[in-house]
Structure 1
Amino acid sequence: MEWLTGPFEVTFVQRALWGGMLVSAICALAGTWVVLRGMAFLGDAMSHGLLPGVALAALFGGNLLVGALLSAAVMTVGVTALSRTPRLSQDTGIGLLFVGMLSLGVIIVSRSQSFAVDLTGFLFGDVLAVREQDLLLLGGALLLALAVSVLGHRAFLALAFDSRKAQTLGLRPRLAHAVLLGLLALAIVASFHIVGTLLVLGLLIAPPAAALPWARSVRGVMALAALLGITATFGGLLLSWHLSTAAGATISALAVSLFFLSHLASGLRHRSRARSLGAHATATDSAAVRATSALTPRRPTERT
């Protein structure tokens, strides 16, 4: 048991665990809609689009979180505006914003003589450096994400499955789409300094995708995704402590591994059910044949 509980007796590992748990819950709320609507590329683009704001904040000695939030706001407005352009597909607009924002961030970094921006920390995060004020910010972000998810659940649900029906029901799909982008931005901004922009998709996409085959409702997917994210956080911190690996990368790798295990188990369950149904159908057919044979009148045997 010492191997299991020993690392979490250290204060900074405890804070990392709490931070990862809060991030897992936030990403479960936003990531479920990302998976249901097929918005993985958008999540990747928005996470990398934070670089200009973070670079400017670091260059002028500002708050990195505020810089990331401003960049996320620019990305959200840009994606919303481009999605309303009839001659331009949404993927094209997202790709252009992605490349443009990333290029701008690299230019800002290259202009810094002292390379003030720690790109390694931005890309891969530092979950073991979580402070108490970070936990308070994450707690506030979780409450905000929960409020948005509850208030916008009906509109998000209609938007995910039939945007035309959402328009018919008066749910204002364009506004719902913009709010959903804001929720995604909130999850990414709250998570990037914990696991980094390259790894945030691990917690944003993998747990909801792993939960999808087992849950019967959207709320069920969110709850199970949060549980899987917390499991990945606990297991990742434990493995990184004993194996001396990068904590954020280990957490994300474990989250992705849980996704593959989930779909493997789901496939095996589906095959087992198919075989059971096949065997049941065969037995039913055999019984039907026997019953039919018993009911069919036999011809009298002719005597010679």
Structure 2
Amino acid sequence: MNSVMDFLTGPWEHLFMRRAFAVAVMCGIVSGVVGAHVVLRGMAFIGDAVSHSVFPGVAIAFVFQFNLVLGGAVAGLLTALAVAVFSQNRRLKEDTVIGVFFAAAFGLGIVILSTAPGYSGSLESFLFGQILGISDGDVVTVAVMGLILLLIAGAVHKELVTVSLDRETATAMGLPVFALDVVLYALVTVTVVISLQAVGNILVLALLITPAACARLLTDRIGIMMALAPAIGAGSAVLGLYLSYAYNLAAGGLIVLVVTGVFIVCWLLAPRHGLLTARTHRRGHALAPDDVAAATAQPTDNTALAERTPAG
């Protein structure tokens, strides 16, 4: 019993761990909310693209000795805007344009850094995260930026969902589709930037996408998905930090492994869409031909997801 209490209360005795928990929870919540829109849009690649596109901004900030996060945010936003503009040509799929620009941005970052000798060690925290070394100022920055992101996401939630489900319908309704694309890309960019210290550039995609993917498996309702994703993200971040403290292992990597473990459990055991539960359901119920047709039409795609969302 004492060992359990020590496990639960021990980390809170240290200021650096309290800061880490605060940032981990905030990043998990924001990443879950924004990531839900990314998963609905089917554009998980954008998270990886943005995490790479911030690289030249960080490189320039390193060379000229100013704030790395600010430099990364500016570069990421500029790249996101370029992707939004070039994606308007529907001849090219969105992921194609993303691939072009994130590769170019990462290449530019490498070229810029090659002019600064001895840069590798200095950017280790950017690549792998340094959540146990953050300051009070970092906590405040993440809190303020996270609140702004949540307010913006809430303000345009219905519009973003409409565009994600059917761009043509959104255009016919008179929605500013291009502007909404820019807003979503900007939300993703800033979310990635504020999460870099938690899990690093290499692993940030997991925090953005995996909790939302878990929620997508667990529910057919957008409202519930928007609540589950941040809960899973924040919970996984906290458990990962506990394990990091207990076993003296890398915090960012453990956060990602925990949320990946949650995804595997959901993939296997989700009530409606889990692999094992679906097989059990099929074995336990012999379906007539009409029932088979009805089962194949169950709401698993985005259109059906929208139909299950209460109006207003």
Q: TM-score, normalised by structure 1?
A: 0.87
- 1:152-231 aligned at under 5 Å gives the runs 152-231=156-235
Q: Is the 8 A contact 1:121 1:193 kept in 2?
A: yes
State the distance in 2 between where 1:185 and 1:142 align. Answer: 12
Task: Say yes or no: does 1:8 pair with 2:12.
Answer: yes
Aligned-partner residue type, residue 180 of structure 1: L
State the distance in 2 between where 1:127 and 1:134 align. Answer: 10
Residue 92 (structure 1) shift: 2.5
Task: Say yes or no: does 1:145 pair with 2:149.
Answer: yes
State the distance in 2 between where 1:143 and 1:206 align. Answer: 21
Three-state SS of the structure 1 residue aligned to 2:86 is helix
Q: Identify the match of residue 135 of structure 1 among 130, 135, 139.
A: 139
- Report the aligned-residue RMSD: 1.9
State the distance in 1 between where 2:201 and 2:223 align. Answer: 26
Q: Is the 8 A contact 2:214 2:266 kept in 1?
A: yes
Q: Aligned pair in 2 of structure 1 residues 239, 273: CA closer, same or farther (>3 Å)? A: same
State the match for 1:68 in structure 2.
72
State the distance in 2 between where 1:149 and 1:4 align. Answer: 33
State the distance in 2 between where 1:135 and 1:14 align. Answer: 10
State the distance in 1 between where 2:257 and 2:122 align. Answer: 22
State the match for 1:254 in structure 2.
258
State the match for 1:78 in structure 2.
82
Q: Is the 8 A contact 2:159 2:180 kept in 1?
A: yes
State the distance in 2 between where 1:119 and 1:15 align. Answer: 21
Residue 279 (structure 1) shift: 9.2
Q: Aligned pair in 2 of structure 1 residues 88, 280: CA closer, same or farther (>3 Å)? A: closer
Which consecutive residues of structure 2, in runs of 5 or more, have no partner in the other structure?
A: 290-312
Q: Is the 8 A contact 2:214 2:263 kept in 1?
A: yes
Q: TM-score, normalised by structure 2?
A: 0.85
Aligned-partner residue type, residue 40 of structure 2: L
State the distance in 2 between where 1:208 and 1:136 align. Answer: 25
| CA deviation map 1:97-135 (0-9, x unaligned) | 111110111111111024277232111111111221111
Three-state SS of the structure 1 residue aligned to 2:89 is coil
Three-state SS of the structure 2 residue aligned to 1:112 is coil
Residue 238 (structure 1) shift: 1.3
State the distance in 1 between where 2:236 and 2:243 align. Answer: 10
Aligned-partner residue type, residue 286 of structure 2: G
Three-state SS of the structure 1 residue aligned to 2:217 is coil
State the distance in 2 between where 1:261 and 1:118 align. Answer: 37
State the match for 1:268 in structure 2.
276
State the match for 2:47 in structure 1.
43
State the match for 1:95 in structure 2.
99
Answer with 1 or 2: which has the greater Rg.
1
Q: Percent identity?
A: 33
Q: Aligned pair in 2 of structure 1 residues 48, 277: CA closer, same or farther (>3 Å)? A: same
| CA deviation map 1:168-190 (0-9, x unaligned) | 11112111111111111111111
How many pairs align? Answer: 281
